[in-house]
Amino acid sequence: MTTNVDEFALTDDATRVTDLYVRAMNAGDLEAVLRLYTEDAVSVWDPEKPISGEEHRQAVAEFITQKPRMRAQVKESYVTGDTALLVVDWTIEIEGQETLTGTGLDVLRRGADGNWRYAVDNPFGDN
């Protein structure tokens, strides 16, 4: 599914990135989700096996096919220069599966365009 790019436009406010991610994920918009990551981003969905690049893209695409419904709330945010750390409580529901919950630690980087993107996505940062 693709939607209007403006609906998921990148932001120059680091605290709004989580909301954009949730809306893009819930809309099932793969490209909008992927735009929220830096080119060299690392996702730590499995602490034993961080992923990036094409492997990350495929994992997000596969996950979106399950039609997840996500909620998230930023608990804390720290911004210094072009780096931000967000502490985020989140819940994901997928029909027929156990509800997933966690507290994520997300590192964002501000790009040359002034917009923020995930550099490190660690949804289980409290483990």
Check if the beta carbon of residue 119 is closer than 8 Å to that of residue 108.
Answer: yes
Place of tokens 């509800």: 99
How high is the mean pLDDT in each 10-residue block of the chain (127 residues)? Answer: 65 96 96 96 92 96 96 97 97 95 96 97 85
Range list of H helices, 5-94: 17-27, 30-35, 53-64
0.95 exceeded by pTM: no
Q: What is the CATH number of domain 5-122?
A: 3.10.450.50
What pLDDT score was predicted for residue 2?
A: 46
